[in-house]
Structure 1
């Protein structure tokens, strides 16, 4: 990937990082960091990885919201599918609310999983989109700054 990313045109670098931002656990934060580490300018790497992660996560929230609405329409929701992911996100949502679960979620789970489970648990779609977007941007910026400081600190003559 480093040969492809480093030797690509700027628009190709942005596209590759946006695609990397879609992948769970790479997302905005690792995509930003890796882009900068491979020589992509921070002003390209961070927005590209953030955009890829945002598009994927918001798309999943919208789909999950519709599926949940269709599944629960006209009947009481059965408590089932008590998975490890669901329990973990539910605990965080109860303890910290949607903002806390969204902002702290990347420490343990991909944002795509956190957002999807929050909506499936009944959190309001627009609130999840807002807080996941804030989280994705903040994590992308933080790791972009970290990458810039690390790469800049390791560069000859720095």
Structure 2
């Protein structure tokens, strides 16, 4: 059963499962937190990896959510600090001479204008890790508190969805 699940995610997921399993049972939740802090793994895959490693679902889910939240907060506060620093250094005359934003930044800006912080936060993880999405939103000038609240909701929501799919998959395979 576990070999089938490993081939779906490749060697990285296998290595992450092995990492969690190598820890003492009482510390495996901490391994789940560390795994979920990795962009592209996040809470949704972190929950699945924890369950595959043998961590009980509620513990795996809570640990993955906590790890992803801590990681996202670090990205958001770093982006917020960088934005404040850049804006403070920019002279009023330089405001007209801002360079053309990248294509990715322009796309996120269009999504922000169209869907707002809630929409981008909830839908963004389907395309880009929430750590990146949330830090880009803050760097574009979105309200930091709103970004944190909506990204936190998104992290919990996606973790619950993947936990449900994971449980259904494990039930179907057994």
Common fold, TM-score beyond 0.5?
yes
How many residue pairs were aligned? 155
TM-score by length of structure 1 reads 0.88
Query: Deviation string for 1:73-105 (max 9, x for gaps)?
Result: 264555436234312321211110000000000
The equivalent of 1:136 in structure 2 is 155
In structure 1, stretches of 5+ residues that fail to align are none
Alignment root-mean-square deviation, CA: 1.8
Report the counterpart of residue 72 of structure 1 in structure 2: 87
Structure with the bigger percentage of helix: 2
CA–CA distance in structure 1, aligned partners of residues 127 and 81 of structure 2: 26
Match of 1:55 among 70, 78, 82: 70
Question: Are the counterparts in 1 of residues 21 and 53 from structure 2 also a CA contact under 8 Å?
Answer: yes
Change (3 A) 1:70 1:139: same
- Answer with 105-114 or 28-37: which moved more: 28-37
Runs of at least 5 residues in structure 2 that lack an aligned partner in the other structure: 1-14
Higher relative CO (Cα under 8 Å, sequence separation at least 6) belongs to 1
Aligned partner of 1:16 among 27, 31, 38? 31
- CA contact 1:37–1:147 (8 Å) conserved in 2: no
- Which one of 38, 46, 52 corresponds to residue 37 of structure 1? 52
Shift of 1:7: 5.2
